[in-house]
Structure 1
Amino acid sequence: MSITKWNEEVICFLINRLLRFLGHNSGEIRNDIKKRGIMCRYAMYSYKSHYACFKCKKGFKRRNLKDINRDLVESKVFHCPDCRSIMVNVGLDCEVPSKKDVKKWKVLESLYEIGITYHSCGCSGPGYIPKELDELKAYLEKTKSQYEHNYQSLLKEEIYDQVEIKKRNESLTHWSKKVEEIQNVIDSL
């Protein structure tokens, strides 16, 4: 989760808690939020995260351990009840496909491999996420071109400070790895 999304989630949660403390009930808070066009549904209730097993093509909802014990720093690793392989957290907004829908499972797994999941704070959702293979290819090509643009922009910068040169080289390495990751996924489709 990005720092911005995390901050957004925490702020929504704290506002909700403050309003409850001041005597507003949950129904009033929800209605007020809906009227204003703000939909931060995950700050108001505890929802179960979706976990997926790509080996068995099964999805399960699991309760977040932070909801049980707020002092926990690490999450528990969940294993698939059928094959015992490690399940991955694909987020609260994920619609896990049926076991028979192999194409959608391929899309979900490909997105997960490059770090795209269905995590959001609930205000605006996770954004556009393709559901079909042809949509996925077009999406990945567009994302790859954006990453290549970022890489090329960094190359054009004239930097003379040694610290800034080091930072730029790290950024160039980052963007080249991202381009390579996406190209590998495109080639595997």
Structure 2
Amino acid sequence: MAPHHEPPSTLLPAQKFDAPWPRYMHPYACFECRKSFKRLGVTEPVLPCPHCGGPSVGLTRKFKPPKQSDVKQWRKVEALVRHGFLFWDLGEPYPSDLTGVDGFAAKHAEHLREQRYRFSNAFEKIDAAMAKRSQSA
């Protein structure tokens, strides 16, 4: 059941305002090669990774990528993104490891529903990219 809030937005979930300024560098995370890159003012929720060509998901500026060699932390980030977290400020820290992700998602289920409704077009693309990743992994 969709929440009774604002209608779906054409913005990216990682963007706050539909204005040309301020324009920020937004991070994208690739779970294929475990790398992150930034793009200025990009309006797509998923872009091809410049390193491996796999799908990369646009996150908020608060996202700090783990080291490429830190496979456990990349798995945690991927699990959070699969739930719908794009690293917004939620007023509390994100889980420190993969074991805390499901409980964290349950605690913030209403927020996730609202974001998925508000940015339904973007989340369709993100979910499709993550499903494609699951098939290739």
Q: Deviation of residue 91 (structure 1)? A: 1.7
Structure with a larger share of its residues in strand = 2
Q: Distance in 2 between matches of 1:89 and 1:76?
A: 5
For structure 2, the 5+ residue unaligned runs are: 111-137
2:28 alignment counterpart: 51
1: CA distance, partners of 2:25 / 2:90: 16
Deviation at 1:79, TM superposition (A): 1.3
**RCO higher in structure (CA 8 A, sep ≥6):** 2
Q: Indicate the structure (1 or 2) with the bigger Cα radius of gyration.
A: 1
1:44 Cα deviation from its structure 2 partner: 7.0
How big is the shift at 1:106? 0.8
- TM-score normalised to structure 2 length: 0.56
1:133–1:65 Cα change, 3 Å: closer
Compared CA separation, residues 117 and 3, structure 1 to 2 (3 A): farther
Aligned residues: percent identity? 27
Residue by residue over 1:32-71, the C-alpha shift from the partner in whole angstroms, topping out at 9 and shown as x without a partner, is xxxxxxxxxxx973221110110100001111236xxxxx
- Distance in 2, matches of 1:51 and 1:126, equals 20
CA distance in 2, matches of 1:126, 1:10: 18
| Number of residue pairs matched by the alignment | 99
Q: Give the counterpart letter for 1:56 in structure 2.
A: C
1:113 aligns with 2:82: yes
Q: Aligned partners of 1:101, 1:112: CA distance in 2, in Å?
A: 17
User: 1:81 & 1:138 partners in 2: Cα distance?
Assistant: 33
Which of 94, 98, 117 is matched with 1:133 structurally? 98
| Correspondence 1:35-184 to 2 at 5 A | 45-65=22-42, 75=44, 77-119=46-88, 125-128=89-92, 129-140=94-105, 142-143=106-107
Shift of 1:85: 1.0
C-alpha distance 136-76 of structure 1, shift in aligned 2 (>3 A): closer
The normalised TM-score by structure 1 is: 0.42
Q: Which secondary structure does the structure 2 equivalent of 1:106 belong to? A: helix
Whether the aligned pair in 2 keeps the contact of 1:93 and 1:126 (CA below 8 Å) is no
RMSD: 3.4
Quick one: structure 1 residues 44 and 107, their matched pair in 2 at CA, closer, same or farther if it must change by over 3 Å? same
